[in-house]
Structure 1
Amino acid sequence: MPHAEIYEHFHPDEKAFVDRAWEWVERAAELHQVRRTDFLDPRQAHILFTLANRHPDAAIRLDGGYEAAERRRAIVAPDYRPVEEEPIGIRVLDISSEDRRIKELDHGDYLGALIGLGMKRDKIGDIHPREDGCHVLIAEEIGDFLTSHLRQVHRAEVRASVVELDRLKVVTPELEEMAISVASLRLDGVASDAFRLSRAKIVDPIRAGRCRVNWKPVEDPSAPLREGDIVSMKGFGRFKVLAVEGQSKSGRFRVRIGKFV
């Protein structure tokens, strides 16, 4: 178990993952075990990286299959092991179709189809939907199952195959830009404008633990936002604070945000 002061740096909801991650680090450093994790979200990757760097005898590598990957697997190993040589175990699931409706499918449709087959989210990395299909980063161990069982996404019939990482077609997420004017950079104020909800209706989901800022749980509606922050609200979507463009004469902040579509 980590030293008590370590927990001070993390949200209480993250304690279970901190305990698990510290166990991986200790086993690598003290029992000379090599651990390959499932896909981690950016917050989990940050926690594991932080813990590994606190132990002088542990080494870590993070890899999501391509340079700008959001979700990544980790190799945690003794510091004498060359972690760059350890297999990361990531493949590309190539989903295609002759059905014209495939161009209407989005990230949520593909993720829903995979989860509907019993896949855990931890086994799935980034998802890159295109008009003619989709590439999904997956843990190599689920490849055979998916090629055998994935036959439909939403209402479109599909076929799936597994290809190597060098075949990956990366799709940069589209952002729907909005310019808003807010009294302050408080989370509830910016989020209410981003999601077009009253501040009263946005406060309850935040306090209920449905909001994350940069993948970290945030339950304080007054928490300040900064440029670059990514805010996700379960059931509403997510947005990025692209720029804070100064204050008007009345003291309101001009903010440019991008909603993920």
Structure 2
Amino acid sequence: MSRREIYEHFHPDEKAFVDRASEWVERAAERHETKRTDFLDPRQAHILFTLANRHPDAQVVLGGGSSQAERQRAIIAPDYRSLDDEDMGISVLDITSDDKRISDLDHGDYLGALLGLGIKRDKIGDLHVSEEGCHALIADDIGGFLIGHMKQAHRVDVTVSVRPLSELREVVSVVEEQTLSVASMRLDGVASDVFRLSRTKILAPIKAGRCRVSWKPVEDPSFQLKEGDIVSMKGFGRFKVLEVEGVSKSGRIRVRIGKFV
């Protein structure tokens, strides 16, 4: 399959990643090279597996540091190589503080502090936030830099240390369920109800490219959501379509939503 034919299956914004992933797979299959990536989101992992499945001489394994990891690193290698004991290069960044205000910090506060230091998002995996602080999964090679430079998170003085994966304090995401009655499964209609915004206000971030559905960029407000979709809107949060329960006599659709809080 040509590169042009491959592009047809993906969003234009994903072209750069498709190019990189294609090269990784080709190098593994044809030059017998092994590549460990930085952290990928689930959409990128899907693209990588799709490309690898088209090449019988390459294989891909994923690891994110925890059993339910959303963001994961990948190893792409020739199909004959055993990857059972391959090191994924992931450590735990333990962020703590003596300041009681640390219990008020959320995922965005910690991520913002890390990115504010110039760290690229793909060097950071999942963040496990609790009242005691945060355990951030990170690429091994940035641990030393963070120990020397991360001093605050949202104006709270913090102390950081690097720990092995065995000491990860895993926190399961909390999902707040609600049942909506919607006219259709259009993205703008469902999102406006979930985030309690007018249809007019929800259009701007969608058209500006700030919305992803199951980690794929979506700029069409009329996009039809389906059961299982995860919608993420930058600046507003994210939710999952848990179940489409049916249609009422008036023609409206009952849908059960899980909003990540």
Q: Deviations over 1:49-76 (max 9, x none)?
A: 1111111111111110112100000001
Q: Deviations over 1:181-207 (max 9, x none)?
A: 101111111011111122222223222
Name the SS of the counterpart of 1:146 in structure 2: helix
Q: Does 1:198 align with 2:192?
A: no
Structure 2: stretches of 5+ with no match in the other structure: none
Distance 2:191 2:59 in 1: 38
User: How much has 1:208 moved relative to structure 2?
Assistant: 2.6
Distance 1:159 1:205 in 2: 36
Q: Is the 8 A contact 1:61 1:84 kept in 2?
A: no
Distance 1:219 1:117 in 2: 30
Q: Is the 8 A contact 1:60 1:83 kept in 2?
A: no
User: How much has 1:2 moved relative to structure 2?
Assistant: 4.9
What is the letter of the counterpart of residue 236 of structure 1?
F
Change (3 A) 1:59 1:34: same
User: How much has 1:155 moved relative to structure 2?
Assistant: 2.1
Q: Is the 8 A contact 1:2 1:19 kept in 2?
A: no
User: How much has 1:32 moved relative to structure 2?
Assistant: 1.2
Q: How does 1:52-63 map to 2 (within 5 A)?
A: 52-63=52-63
What is the letter of the counterpart of residue 57 of structure 2?
D
What is the letter of the counterpart of residue 31 of structure 1?
R
Instruction: State the match for 1:212 in structure 2.
Output: 212
Instruction: State the match for 1:81 in structure 2.
Output: 81
- The number of aligned residues is 261
User: How much has 1:36 moved relative to structure 2?
Assistant: 0.5
Distance 1:40 1:195 in 2: 27
Q: Is the 8 A contact 1:2 1:22 kept in 2?
A: no
Name the SS of the counterpart of 1:38 in structure 2: strand
User: How much has 1:178 moved relative to structure 2?
Assistant: 2.3
Distance 1:212 1:112 in 2: 19
Structure 1: stretches of 5+ with no match in the other structure: none
Q: Does 1:36 align with 2:39?
A: no
Q: How does 1:217-256 map to 2 (within 5 A)?
A: 217-256=217-256
Name the SS of the counterpart of 2:172 in structure 1: coil
User: How much has 1:116 moved relative to structure 2?
Assistant: 1.1
Q: How does 1:1-261 map to 2 (within 5 A)?
A: 2-261=2-261
**TM-score of the pair, normalised by structure 1:** 0.96
Name the SS of the counterpart of 2:92 in structure 1: strand
Q: Deviations over 1:146-165 (max 9, x none)?
A: 11221211122111111111
What is the letter of the counterpart of residue 100 of structure 1?
K
Q: Deviations over 1:108-153 (max 9, x none)?
A: 0110111111111010000001001110000000011111221211
Name the SS of the counterpart of 2:228 in structure 1: coil
What is the letter of the counterpart of residue 146 of structure 2?
L
Name the SS of the counterpart of 1:5 in structure 2: helix
Distance 2:87 2:221 in 1: 42
What is the letter of the counterpart of residue 62 of structure 2?
L
RMSD (CA atoms): 1.4
What is the letter of the counterpart of residue 173 of structure 1?
S
Percent identity between the two aligned chains: 72
What is the letter of the counterpart of residue 246 of structure 1?
G
